[in-house]
Structure 1
Amino acid sequence: MGESVPGRAVIPLFPLGTPLFPGVVLPLQIFEPRYRRLIAELGALPEGPERRFGVVAIRQGWEVEQVAPAEALFDVGCTAVLRLISPRPDGGYRVVAVGGERFRLLDVLLPDPDSGEPPYLRAEVEWLVEEEAAEEAAGDSEAAGEGHPPALTGPGPGKDAADGPGDDVVTDVVRGSLELLAGNVRELFARYVADVAVRQSGGVGALPEDVLAALTGDGEDGEDGAEADPTASALREVSDDARGLSWLVASAALLTTEDRQALLAESATRRRLTLESRLLRRELTLLRTLGAVPVPLAQFAGPLTPN
């Protein structure tokens, strides 16, 4: 479960039908013997980031146990860090985990029952932290080039680069363009949630006002301490966090596994938000054309944590 070489590790693997995203809460009921053992082993560790397993989405129509796991699984996943372990009378567990770090699968290690190895899948992975940093920087460079004339990105006449205002101007342009993009996605997502609510209820009376209020941050919890709509609450939590917003939309919107996986695999927040803008516009068009949604609104959003 520990590091083998810098930037890589061998971790337990937990295939699921959909990707997990950083910061998103994942509740699970554990009943298979091999995963009971996994949770017992992780539960024996001190609380912290080492209480983790890797979640990787299964390709649609593939059975992990009947084909080579590396072919049945997508190649980018996210760790799940255990926050709560509750044993059940039948020997299983209820657990709550939170999405942690993204990784890329390098190799899937099959259990060998004769060797005394753990009975669950494990994988050698590489962490994507450095890739994320490089992609974020590349995305910012693209935004600076697209958002401002070249004359404002360098020093003026008679000025050294260190003395010129160019760097500050570029930084402001980059930050502003990201805020505009995030605001656009936030507005599209709130309209999308509202459209789903209307179609689920059959009328505008159930339009979630606190979802729309979350756009401006004005939404409050209900009277007498009642909790606001979870989607609105999550939107408020990430109101000033473009990266958190991108993960909320990726996890909560009613997208295909392939669409969600594409968002998980994108390392740059700016590019992820750009893709989400296109996907949300597509989904809004489909909602308004077909007039139906495939699942209840209660399944729409999962809790989000900043940790």
Structure 2
Amino acid sequence: MPADSHPDRSPPDRPTAQLPLFPLHTVLLPGVHLPLHIFEPRYRQLVDDLVRGVVPDREFGVIAIRNALVSDVDRIGQLYPVGCTAQLREVSATSSGGFDIVTTGARRFLLHELTASDTPYLMGDVEWLPDEPTLDPDGTTARTLAEAARAAHARYCEAAWHDGDWSAPPTSAAVAELAYLLAADCLLPLAEQQALLRQTDPLHRLRLVTALLSREAGFVSALRAVPVSHDELADISGAAKMN
């Protein structure tokens, strides 16, 4: 597979790593579970490599496709630049030769380029994208922002879902993870999920998710309907596939 550099990006100064990539019409957020039905041969090979330890740490990169009408990625410009690794948790073989797997979002990464590889699945040269240090993650500002974000989440879920169809994240959830867990319950547009993923300041991320959920709660209450998810839109178009 030929190498492909991301446009408008110079070679990185920081250390990079090679990572298998799984482009999807969705955004995986850290700490959020993602079940997948694997049927395409290249991704069956990826799961096999993960299970056998050919790919270390049972970890691969999920990265969102920019256009719902694109199903087969061959250029880096078709992808958002920031993705999240998926940690393989459970694997079940299907009667058709595929797999049903459960993964959990782990580490964020910045994709620098698609790299040449003998594997049937995409490989990328990535740089890990940690959060910026927060001076007082348990201080008054963090607590106030967390309470506001939880209140916005409750308003959204009460408007969008039936009682019992949702629950608040545990009170033990870390400030750095809370925005992701709140967003996971809500049908935010893909680009806005991507904005949450690329935000490296945990407190700014809480402000952003509060604004997004408050806005969406207003839309849902006014329209009495939740938006169509990106995956459902792709299914309607008939052009995009899971893998």
Q: Which TM-score band (shorter chain)?
A: 0.7 to 0.9
Q: Deviations over 1:110-155 (max 9, x none)?
A: 55xxxxx1111110100012xx1xx334xx4xxxxxxxxxxxxxxx
**2:78 corresponds to which residue?**
72
**1:151 corresponds to which residue?**
none
Which has the larger share of helix? 1
- Do residues 277 (structure 1) and 202 (structure 2) align? no
Matches within 5 A, 1:117-156: 117-129=118-130, 132=131, 135-137=132-134, 140=135
CA contact (8 A) 1:64 1:73 kept: no
Q: Deviations over 1:229-258 (max 9, x none)?
A: 4631xx242555222221112222111100
CA contact (8 A) 1:64 1:72 kept: no
CA contact (8 A) 1:103 1:125 kept: yes
**2:97 corresponds to which residue?**
91
d(CA) in 2 for partners of 1:75 and 1:251? 20
Instruction: Say which of 175, 178, 184 aligns to 1:242.
Output: 175
Q: Deviations over 1:6-35 (max 9, x none)?
A: 742101100011110111111111100011
**1:102 corresponds to which residue?**
108
Q: Deviations over 1:156-176 (max 9, x none)?
A: xxxxxxxxxxxxxxx59x711
SS at match of 2:57: coil
- Do residues 261 (structure 1) and 169 (structure 2) align? no
Matches within 5 A, 1:282-297: 282-294=215-227
Question: Residues 280, 6 of structure 1: CA spacing in aligned structure 2 closer, same or farther, 3 A cutoff?
Answer: closer
Aligned-pair Cα RMSD in Å: 2.6
Report the alpha carbon displacement of residue 289 of structure 1 after superposing the two structures with TM: 2.2
Q: TM-score, normalised by structure 1?
A: 0.65
Which has the larger share of strand? 2
User: Match for 1:277: what amino acid?
Assistant: T
Question: Residues 101, 230 of structure 1: CA spacing in aligned structure 2 closer, same or farther, 3 A cutoff?
Answer: farther
CA contact (8 A) 1:251 1:260 kept: no
d(CA) in 2 for partners of 1:30 and 1:240? 31
SS at match of 2:176: helix
d(CA) in 2 for partners of 1:122 and 1:240? 33
Instruction: Say which of 48, 52, 55 aligns to 1:44.
Output: 52
Q: Deviations over 1:83-118 (max 9, x none)?
A: 11111222111111111100000111255xxxxx11
User: Match for 1:281: what amino acid?
Assistant: S
d(CA) in 2 for partners of 1:230 and 1:7? 43
SS at match of 1:237: coil
SS at match of 2:36: strand
- For this pair of structures, how many residues does the alignment match? 218
Matches within 5 A, 1:172-187: 175-187=139-151
**1:224 corresponds to which residue?**
none
Q: Which has the higher contact order (CA 8 A, sep 6+)?
A: 2
d(CA) in 1 for partners of 2:144 and 2:40? 46
CA contact (8 A) 2:142 2:203 kept: yes
d(CA) in 1 for partners of 2:34 and 2:171? 18
User: Match for 2:95: what amino acid?
Assistant: P
Q: Deviations over 1:237-290 (max 9, x none)?
A: 255522222111222211110000000000111001101111112112212222
Instruction: Say which of 2, 20, 44 aligns to 2:28.
Output: 20
Structure 1 gap ranges (5+): 112-116, 141-170, 198-205, 209-228, 300-307
Question: Residues 8, 183 of structure 1: CA spacing in aligned structure 2 closer, same or farther, 3 A cutoff?
Answer: same
SS at match of 1:254: coil
CA contact (8 A) 1:19 1:260 kept: yes
SS at match of 1:245: helix
Identity within the alignment, %: 38
Q: TM-score, normalised by structure 2?
A: 0.81
